[in-house]
Amino acid sequence: MDFGRLASLEGVSFELPKLPDRSRALLEAHAHETPQSKGDRLWLRTGAPAWARKDWVGRMYPRGLSDKQFLKTYAQRVDAIELNASYYRVPSAEVLDAWAADAPARFRFCPKLHQSITHRRALEESADEALRFARHFLRLGEKLGPGFLQLPPWLDASGIDGLDALLAALPAEFRVAVEFRHPSWFEAHAGPGGPRGELREDAVRLLEKWGAGAVITDVAGRRDACHASITAPFVIVRFVGNGLHPTDLPRADAWIERLVAWREIGLDEAYFFAHQPDDALAPEMLAHVARRCRDRGLDVPAIDLGPHARVATMKSRRRN
């Protein structure tokens, strides 16, 4: 993931922003209207942007595992996938059925809307295609998580009417979270270590209007995109690490605590997707997150990567 990547982390503050009052009020109102079950421990799902990774064999996957078994094994170790593949090619109905059959009931697919919908024409011109995309993925049933609508980096806040038209076209049963990238979508507030971001008010109102969530992207070079604007009772966090740099693990720990705090206020569901450069070290990141979550009593599968993962981690730290 190249968005916000930096060659050096010197001077970067990874402090997480404060929850805006409007977002707190939304979560509190939701908790009042829809009380959470105290026995519902499965609310935080973790995952990566891909599962078809041969370089994970010997760590995430046992040696000798067939490529055809990658998804089934992946879905035993984490609970969700940020399905970036659907941005490039929409899988057939038969492929979706096969994927669903390989995943347990608790697993969720979060498909990224195809690039022809979000990046090749004005958003309002993609409404019909977005509707077809959503209806196609609804065949996943309960294994469908929120869709992931990534706005192009050149689309500034003047495109809000187009986003409104696109969200209006999606069926209510297809939940979606929006990732904003152009700086104009964020309101900057000065603070220690530089400006802190939250989504501008008109964008927040629009997402709330359609019940859409917000994607929070925690990446070194775009701290404004690491906002804390909650617009629905679910959220997607895209955590972009730096090759297991010494800052990566404390950053992930902070996010676990942040999501637990939001859960206590009223958040229903959270997705934490771990990115690393080329995603080669995503298994190590996910294993750490799983350990920390389980320490907090969260219902997250354990990930045992074995001795090869520890070697890879040490090598990565030496490079940084």
pLDDT digit string (tens) for 5-51?
A: 898 999 999 999 999 999 999 999 999 888 765 456 789 999 999 99
Both tokens assigned to 71: 């998804």
Question: Which pLDDT tens digit goes with each residue over 255-264?
Answer: 999 999 999 9
The string of DSSP codes covering 14-48 is -PPPPPPHHHHHHHHHHHHHSPPPTT----EEEEE
Measured CA to CA, the distance from residue 64 to residue 58 in angstroms comes to 9
In a domain, 165, yes or no: yes
Would you state the pLDDT for residue 256?
A: 97
Measured CA to CA, the distance from residue 205 to residue 211 in angstroms comes to 10
In a domain, 245, yes or no: no
CA angle 45, 48, 54 (to 5 degrees): 140
Question: Which pLDDT tens digit goes with each residue over 291-319?
Answer: 999 999 999 999 989 766 644 444 444 33
In a domain, 290, yes or no: no
In a domain, 154, yes or no: yes
Instruction: Specify the amino acid at residue 315.
Output: K
H helices, E strands: number in the chain: 11, 10
Phi first, then psi: what are they for 179, rounded to 5°?
Answer: -105, 120
In a domain, 126, yes or no: yes
CATH code for the domain in which residue 181 is found: 3.20.20.410
In a domain, 46, yes or no: no
Nearest to 148 by CA among 208, 94, 216: 216
Percent of the chain exceeding pLDDT 90 equals 85
Question: For residue 219, how many C-alpha atoms fall within 13 Å in the half-sphere facing its CB?
Answer: 21
Q: How many structural domains does the chain have?
A: 1
In a domain, 194, yes or no: yes
The domain in which residue 158 lies consists of 79-226
Report residue 234 CA to chain centroid gap: 11
In a domain, 114, yes or no: yes
Measured CA to CA, the distance from residue 191 to residue 295 in angstroms comes to 32
Would you state the pLDDT for residue 2?
A: 82
Residues of the chain under the 70 pLDDT cut: 36-40, 188-196, 307-320
